[in-house]
Amino acid sequence: WDFLILFFCLPVVIFNEITKKRLLGDMSCRIVPFMEVSSLGVTTFSLCALGIDRFHAATSPQASTRPIEQCQSIIAKLAVIWVGSMTLSVPEILLWQLAQDTSPVSGVMTEYCTMKPSSNLPESIYSLVLTYQNARMWWYFGCYFCLPILFTVSCQLVTRRIRGTEKKSECRGSKHSQCEGHLNCTIIALTSIYGLCTTPENVCNIVVAYMSPDMSKQTLDLLNLINQFFLFFKCSVTPVLLLCLCRPLGQAFMDCCCCCCEGCGPDTTSSESSADSKLKTEMSSSIFFDKPRETPPPLLALGTPC
């Protein structure tokens, strides 16, 4: 979803700032806020799901021998996160519309997006959209800011408390504990980046809600641009942070890049090196997904060229 934001929303915003014309017209005024709010929802519920997973890993009676989660289960959770986030963002499509105004400085007709429900909507839907508009600031603050931060902090505190008790009673394998701590650091880093990048938007929303009559349109546009800049920054940093902190994911990404750049030849040397890297990735990923360390398969079987 971060890549969708960067590849679709970022060009539209840059084009609008340069030309003062809205790319794709009224459609972009509705789709861009919808995708941006969906991005906040996807990150929020993903952090909550990761917090629950770390809590289960800490409280499981046999955490070190917990098997890898099935692919169908992971896809089902991702589907719930994505569909739920998009469903909660549907009011954004009905809330925004395209408007035109003449610039007092240059005298040129400019296009901009305004938060004003269309009067052509049915009365029941129109009243719901107005209710959403009035509660939008606190909904943002409560669901997309407080929920992931409080959820992550609570899960980390409970996990540390349980692990502290377990360390006194029994000593776990140092390798397993080290990888568990690395996963927790990854989640904390993701939450910290998310909190830092969404704080300006929530502050601006509160300021605009209580001081908008005293602010000029240029100031409001500048605040909106700052909010979008922090959102794009979060979408750019999060994948890089994941690739750097999650070693199996970063190794797999580098293998794919090298494969695309150099080409996958059938020579023995490349097949042996890819087999070795595959073995290392499988061994490290077994730690990151709480799979028990087993004796690795013989190198001969993996190193044999296909």
Q: Give the span between the Cα atoms of 150 and 184, in whole angstroms.
A: 15
Backbone angles phi, psi at 96, to 5 degrees: -100, 150
Q: Could you report the average pLDDT of every consecutive run of 10 residues in the chain (306 residues)?
A: 87 84 83 91 90 77 65 89 92 85 71 81 87 87 90 83 62 60 81 88 81 72 84 88 78 77 50 50 46 49 47
d(CA 112, CA 244): 38
Residue 303, in any domain of the structure:
no
151 is a domain residue: yes
User: Is 292 part of any domain?
Assistant: no
Token pair 């990923």: residue: 285
Report if residue 266 sits inside a domain: no
Indicate whether 16 belongs to any domain.
yes
pTM of the model: 0.74
Predicted pLDDT at 61:
63
Position 114 scores a pLDDT of 81
* Structural domain boundaries enclosing 188: 1-60+68-167+177-260
How many domains, the chain? Answer: 1
| 42, part of any domain | yes
pLDDT at residue 117, as a whole number: 84
Q: Would 296 be classed as within a structural domain?
A: no
Q: Evaluate whether residue 22 is within a structural domain.
A: yes
Q: Which amino acid is at 222?
A: L
Burial 183-196, CB ≥16 within 10 A → b, else e:
bbebbebbbebbbe
CATH number for the domain spanning 89: value is: 1.20.1070.10
Distances (CA, A) of 277 to 269, 285, 297: 12, 12, 13
Closest C-alpha to 48, from 81, 79, 1: 81
